[in-house]
Amino acid sequence: MEPEMTALPLVFEAPRRGQPPRHLADLDRDQRRAVVTELGEPAFRADQLARHYFARLSTDPAAMTDLPAAARSRLVAALLPELATPVRHQSCDGGKTRKTLWRAADGARTESVLMRYPDRATVCISSQAGCGMACPFCATGQGGLTRNLSTAEIVDQVRAAAAAIRDGKLTGGPGRLSNVVFMGMGEPLANYPRVATAIRRITDPAPEGLGLSQRSVTVSTVGLVPAMRQLADEGMQVTLAVSLHTPDDELRDTLVPVNRRWKVSEVLDAARHYADVTGRRVSIEYALIRDINDQPWRAELLGRLLHERLGARVHVNLIPLNPTPGSAWDASPRAVQEQFVARVRGAGVTCTVRDTRGREIAAACGQLAAATPADQPGS
């Protein structure tokens, strides 16, 4: 049960929880061709649909003039059903950050955030509706898990973002989506098979996929050790980010409750394995929280541990805490943050502070709660 659904008057929206409809992006080429053949159409129609979706980023049947009009709506219904409708777009940062709230057919809500930078455009996507990891400083964690997203529901957030920036929906004119980060709602490695397939669809060259580079995809995890090892062994080149937030088990058991199952040293061993197998530098995320995890000794311990375990194959991303409603926690003062950075660097580990895009529209890290005024009965 999720709170936002219980608040809805049932006459307007019956809460049905189920798997989303089958979609082209869930299937590989052979499976797509089999579906089309079953409908009595030649198999190459599946490739035409894939080209519309992955290469032209389109789901609009009216634009699919290479498909016979009589078959078009049947094909689109079978392979390109609408998975989610945008409930609301919100922009900030002078129109360079844009958050979209999506509602799936069963009422599940998710959010994605598109951000334009001078040298790149990044979409932050959700892998689950809600999240089951219960980190106390994260708004998503407070609402619990609604359900896993399907492969297509994940891929479609990227397709929609790529279309939005191509079509000039962000300040700065038409552009190209370059990066994807799994840092929206959910724990991606808790939805492993669907996320792994989604990464392939996002990175396979068009018309089999959206054609982004694996190196520009980042998967962020609380530290689900077996799944981190599995991801290392997939033979992919995506960036792994680990939400460490403190180097000691005592505090981490509270900040990232799954630490009670997999300890800091096991998480760092798995990160090391990832770096060894892929040759990629691992990111360590650290939300700096005033008087909680920002002490000099923690900075030193963090630097020492990472230097010992990962050497040059690690980078620390400090995230000034984005306050969430109802929480007493706040970001560390500037001077404390600067000293923290200096101490980590002093241990020989690279460390930068992440910008906090989208704060005022609750689109920054950990602020995605998918709440909307429309959730209130009577509005």
Contact between 194 and 154 (Cβ < 8 Å) = yes
Would you call 135 a catalytic residue per the annotation? Answer: no
Nearer to ligand SAH by Cβ, of 302 and 321: the residue is 321
Nearer to ligand SAH by Cβ, of 49 and 199: the residue is 199
* Partners of 318 in the β-ladder: 286, 353
For residue 232, state whether it binds ligand SAH (rule: CB under 6 A): no
* Partners of 351 in the β-ladder: 316
For residue 225, state whether it binds ligand SAH (rule: CB under 6 A): no
Instruction: Encode 84-114: b = buried (16+ Cβ within 10 Å), e = exposed.
Output: beeeeebbbbeebbbbbbbbbebbbbbbbbb
Chain center to CA of 208: 21
Nearer to ligand SAH by Cβ, of 49 and 115: the residue is 115
Phi/psi at 261 (5° precision): -95, -45
Selected from 113, 164, 177, 222, the binder of ligand SAH by CB under 6 A is 222
Torsion from C-alpha of 111, 113, 114, 117, nearest 10 degrees: -170
> Least CB distance from residue 243 to ligand SAH, whole Å?
3
Would you call 111 a catalytic residue per the annotation? Answer: yes
- DSSP alpha helix (H) spans, 62-150: 69-79, 139-143
> Least CB distance from residue 331 to ligand SAH, whole Å?
8
For residue 287, state whether it binds ligand SAH (rule: CB under 6 A): yes
For residue 112, state whether it binds ligand SAH (rule: CB under 6 A): no
Selected from 179, 243, 246, 293, the binder of ligand SAH by CB under 6 A is 243
- The single-letter code of the amino acid at 211 is G
Selected from 53, 54, 137, 262, the binder of ligand SAH by CB under 6 A is 137
Find the catalytic residue in 2, 111, 187, 208: 111
Which one of 169-177, 196-204, 293-301, 315-323 is the stretch in contact with ligand SAH (CB under 6 A)?
315-323
Q: How far apart are CA 241 and CA 218, in angstroms?
A: 7
Which one of 10-18, 49-57, 206-214, 218-226 is the stretch in contact with ligand SAH (CB under 6 A)?
218-226
Would you name the residues annotated as active-site residues?
A: 111, 365
